[in-house]
Amino acid sequence: MHSRPQAVLQKDLQALLALLRDQIATSALHQRAREFTPYLGSGKMLRARLALRLGAANGVRPAVRHAAAAAVELIHAASLLHDDVIDGGLIRRGIPTFWKAYGTSGAILLGDLILFKAMHLIHATGQLPLLAEFIELSGVVCEAEAEQELIRRNKPPTWQQAVQIARRKTGALFACAAVTAGRNAAQKNALREAGYLVGTAYQIADDILDGSCNEHKAGKTLGTDHARGKTTAAVRSPAAARRHLASLSRNSTKLLNPWPRLQQAWQAYLDEDFLPVIHALLGD
Amino acid sequence: MHSRPQAVLQKDLQALLALLRDQIATSALHQRAREFTPYLGSGKMLRARLALRLGAANGVRPAVRHAAAAAVELIHAASLLHDDVIDGGLIRRGIPTFWKAYGTSGAILLGDLILFKAMHLIHATGQLPLLAEFIELSGVVCEAEAEQELIRRNKPPTWQQAVQIARRKTGALFACAAVTAGRNAAQKNALREAGYLVGTAYQIADDILDGSCNEHKAGKTLGTDHARGKTTAAVRSPAAARRHLASLSRNSTKLLNPWPRLQQAWQAYLDEDFLPVIHALLGD
C-alpha cells in the first residue's frame, strides 16, 4: 500500500507523462515520437520527481507543479539530444540515440524546439517569477557546457574546477526543479541551493560511472568524457568523490531546517528517489 | 546630413552593438569572441533595424527597443550557428563558420546559450507580454526548422508548402521584431502580421539566391538547400517568386493604414533597409 505522498506522486507522474506526450503530439513531428521516447519520460525523472514531491508537500497547485516538472524534463531532454550529438553517443536508455536514427541536424533542431516548449509551459502557468528562474538557471547550464567545451577541454582540471563545472552544468537544473516548490524568497533560496547540492552530487556520480566504463549498467555509451578531454570529477579517486557526494546530500537536507514539512519531503525524495539511483550508478 | 529618424537609428545601432558585445564579455567565452563576430552585429541586422525604427517611431523606451533588437539578433545568431552545423556551411560573412573553427559541439552549445541570453534580456525589461511573444514566435521558428528537417526532407514541396515553411521559419522572427513596437493589441496584431509578410519575402529571396549559387555575392556557402533536399521557394521560377515577394512587401505596408506614423516608419524601413538588401540579393 502507498503512503499518501507516494499516491500523490504516482498521480502526478501520470499527469506529467500525459503533458510530455502532448508537447509533440500536436505537430507534424509526432511521426518521430518513437525515437524521441528515450529522451522524454522514460528515464529516472529525478528532476521532475524533485519538483513534484516538494511542490505537493508545500501546497503548490497541481497544474503549476506538473508544468514545472514537465519543463525541467524538456530542458533535460534538449540537453541530452544535443549532448548525444556532441559526445557521439550511440545508445541512450538502451536504444539508438536520436541523431543516430535521424541525423545530427534533426537532433539539434528538435532540442532547440523543446527548449521553447518548456518556456511556453512555464509562461502559461502565469507564474512569472518562475519563468525568470527557468531562464536564469537554464542559462547557467548552457554557459557551463559551452565553457567546458570551448575553453576547458584538454586542460587537466583541479578537483575544485571539476566540482564547479558539475554544479553549474547539472546542479543548476536540479536547482530549477527545487525552486519551483518555494512559496517565498527564503524558501526559494534554500530550495535552489539544496537543488544545486544534490545536482552536483548526481554529476559527480555520473562522472565516476563514465570513468568506470560499465555500459551495461549505464544503458548508454560511456568513456566519452575522458575521450573528449572534458572537465569531470573523475580526476579524484572514486572513494574521495563518494565521500564528497555524501556530504553534499547531507548538507542539502540541513538547508531546509526552518521548514519541517519541506525537509521531510526532501528527505523522502533523497531516500526513495535520489539515493537509490546514486547507489545503483555506483554499483553499491 | 541625416534626417531625425536616421540619427536616432544610428544612435540605436551603436547602443545595440554595445549590448550584443556585453553578452559574452562577462564569461570565460569572451576568448572566442573573434570567431563569433560574423554571427553577431556584423550582418545586415534587418530584424534589429525593424525593431529599432518602428519602436522609435511609436515611442517605445530606448532601453526596451534596444533589448528587443538585441534579443532578435541573438536568436537569429543562435539559428545561424546551428544552421551552419546542419548545412555544413564553411563560410559566413566572408570568414570561416564557428563550427569550422571550433567544432560542431562548441557551435551547438554557444547557440543554446545565446537563446537564453536573449530571453534574459527581454525578461529584464519587465515587459512580460513581450516575453510571451518571444517564446511563442521563437517556438514557431524552431518547429518549422525541425519539421523541414525531420518530416519534409527530400519530398518535392508544392509552392504553397514552400511559402508556409518560409513564413514560419523566417517570417516568425521578423514578426517578433515588429511586434515589439506595438503599444496595444490592434497595433501588435498588425505589426506581427506585417513582420510575417516581409520575413517570408526575405526567405523567398534567400531561397532564390541559394538556387543561383553566387557565393561571392552571398558571402556564405550556397547550394546547400538543394543538396540537402530542403523545402524552399526555389521550386518556382525566379520571376514568379519575385512577383510574390513584391506583393508581400506591398501588403505589409497596407496593414498599418490605421496608424500613419507607424506606416511611415514601416515604409522608411522597407525603402532604406529591407528592399536594398533584397535587390542586392537578387542582383537587381
For residues A110 and A40, give the distance between their C-alpha atoms in angstroms, rounded to a whole number: 12
**Of residues A119, A120, A150, nearest to B32 (C-beta):** A150
Q: Which of residues 131-190 of A touch B (CB under 8 A)?
A: 131-132, 135-136, 138-139, 142-143, 145-147, 149-151
Share of chain A above pLDDT 90, in %: 56
Q: Is residue B73 predicted with pLDDT exceeding 50?
A: yes
Please indicate whether, in this complex, the C-beta atoms of A147 and B29 are within 8 angstroms of each other: yes
Asked if B146's CB is within 8 angstroms of A112's CB, the reply is yes
Asked if the Cβ–Cβ distance from A149 to B106 is below 8 Å, we say: yes
C-alpha to C-alpha distance for B256 and B168, rounded to whole angstroms: 21
Which residues make beta-bridge pairs with A92? A95, A220
A102, A119, A128: residue with CB nearest B150: A102
Confidence category of residue B222, pLDDT binned at 50, 70, 90: low
Q: Tell me, what's the ipTM?
A: 0.85
| Contact check, Cβ <8 Å, B117/A139 | yes
Cα–Cα distances in angstroms (integers) from residue A176 to residues A192, B121, B154, in the given order? 7, 19, 40
Q: A71-85, B17-31, B234-248: which has the highest mean pLDDT?
A: A71-85
In the numeric block, the cell 515553411 is attached to B165
Distance CA A148, CA B108 (A): 13
Task: Provide the terminal-to-terminal Cα distance of chain A, rounded to the nearest Å.
Answer: 27
Choose the weakest-confidence range: A191-205, B4-18, B92-106.
B92-106
Q: What is the mean pLDDT of residues B49-63?
A: 97
How near does any CA of chain A get to the CA of B40, in Å? 17
| pTM check: above 0.80 | yes
**Based on the number of CB atoms within 10 Å of its own CB, is B185 exposed (0-12), middle (13-18) or buried (19 or more)?**
exposed
Residue B276, min C-alpha distance to chain A (Å): 31
Question: Which residue range forms the structural domain that includes residue A150?
Answer: 4-282
Q: Distance from B164 to chain A by nearest Cα, in Å?
A: 14
From chain A, the residues in CB contact with B132 under 8 A are 123
Residue with cell 519602436: B55
* Model confidence pLDDT, tens digit, residues B101-124: 888 888 999 999 999 999 999 999
Q: Which residues lie closer than 8 Å to A101 by C-beta, 6 or more apart?
A: A35
* Residue in A closest to B127 by C-alpha: A128
How many domains does the structure of chain B reveal? 1
Using an 8 Å Cβ cutoff, are B30 and B24 in contact?
yes
In chain B, residues with a C-beta closer than 8 Å to the C-beta of A169 are none
Q: What's the CA dihedral at A106, A112, A117, A119 to 10 degrees? A: 170
CA distance A246 to chain B (A): 30
With an 8 Å Cβ cutoff, is B18 touching chain A?
no
Q: Which of B117-121, B127-131, B180-184, B220-224 has the lowest mean pLDDT?
A: B220-224
**Lowest-confidence region among A155-159, A210-214, B5-9, B183-187:** A210-214
B115/A120 CB distance under 8 A: no
Of all residues in chain B, the one with the smallest CA distance to A138 is B116
- What would the mean pLDDT of B265-279 be, rounded to a whole number? 95
* Alpha helices in chain B, H assignment, sequence order: 4-25, 33-36, 46-57, 62-87, 98-102, 104-124, 128-150, 159-166, 172-179, 185-212, 215-218, 224-227, 238-254, 260-269, 275-282
Q: Ramachandran region of residue A41, left (φ > 0), alpha (ψ -120 to 50) or beta? A: left
- Shortest CA distance from A27: residue in chain B: B143
For residues B112 and A112, what is the distance between their CA atoms, to the nearest angstrom? Answer: 7
Q: How far is CA A77 from CA A22, A70, A74, in A?
A: 15, 10, 5
CB crowding A204-235: b at 16 or more within 10 Å, else e: bbbbbbbbbeeeeebebbbebbeebebbbbbb
User: Who among B108, B123, B132 is closest to A86 (CB)?
Assistant: B108
CB contact under 8 A, A29 and B147: yes
Q: In terms of C-beta density within 10 A (0-12 exposed, 13-18 middle, 19 or more buried), how is residue A271 classed?
A: exposed
Percent of chain B with pLDDT over 70: 89
CA A192/CA A178 separation, integer angstroms = 6
Q: Which amino acid is at B70?
A: A
pLDDT band at residue B268 using 50, 70 and 90 as cut-offs: very high
Grid coordinates belonging to A220: 548508454
Give contacts of B31 with chain A, Cβ < 8 Å. Answer: 150-151
Q: What is the mean pLDDT of chain B?
A: 88
| B217 — pLDDT class (breaks 50, 70, 90) | low
Nearest CA in chain A to B75: A112
Looking at per-residue pLDDT, the higher value among B152 and A223 belongs to: B152
- Please, what sign has the CA dihedral across residues B47, B50, B53, B55? negative
Which chain B residue's Cα is nearest to A113? B142
Q: Mean pLDDT over all residues of chain A?
A: 88
pLDDT (0 to 100) of residue B48: 97
Residues in chain B within 8 Å Cβ distance of A142: 109, 112-113, 115-116
Collect all residues with Cβ–Cβ distance below 8 Å to B206 and sequence separation of at least 6: B170, B281
More confident residue, B44 or A168: A168
Task: State mean pLDDT over A53-64.
Answer: 97
Chain B residues within an 8 Å CB radius of A86? 104-105, 108-109
State whether residue A10 sits within 8 Å of chain B by CB. no
**B85, closest residue in chain A (CA to CA):** A105
Residue A215: its pLDDT value, please? Answer: 61
The more confidently predicted of residues A183 and B37 is: A183
B71 touches chain A (CB under 8 A): no
Contact status, residue B52 vs residue A171, Cβ threshold 8 Å: no
Which pLDDT band, with edges at 50, 70 and 90, does B211 fall under?
confident
Closest-CA distance, B108 to chain A, in angstroms, reads 7
Kindly tell me the sign of the dihedral angle through the C-alpha atoms of A22, A24, A30, A34: negative
Inter-chain CB proximity B131 and A131 less than 8 Å: yes
A168-172, A276-280, B133-137: lowest mean pLDDT where?
Answer: A276-280
Question: Given a cut of 50, is residue A1 above it in pLDDT?
Answer: no
Distance CA(B238)–CA(B282), nearest Å, equals: 9
CB B39 within 8 A of CB B29: no
Do residue A112 and residue B136 have CB atoms under 8 angstroms apart?
no
> What pLDDT is attached to residue B1?
45
pLDDT for the residue B139 = 94
What CATH number does the domain containing B54 carry? 1.10.600.10
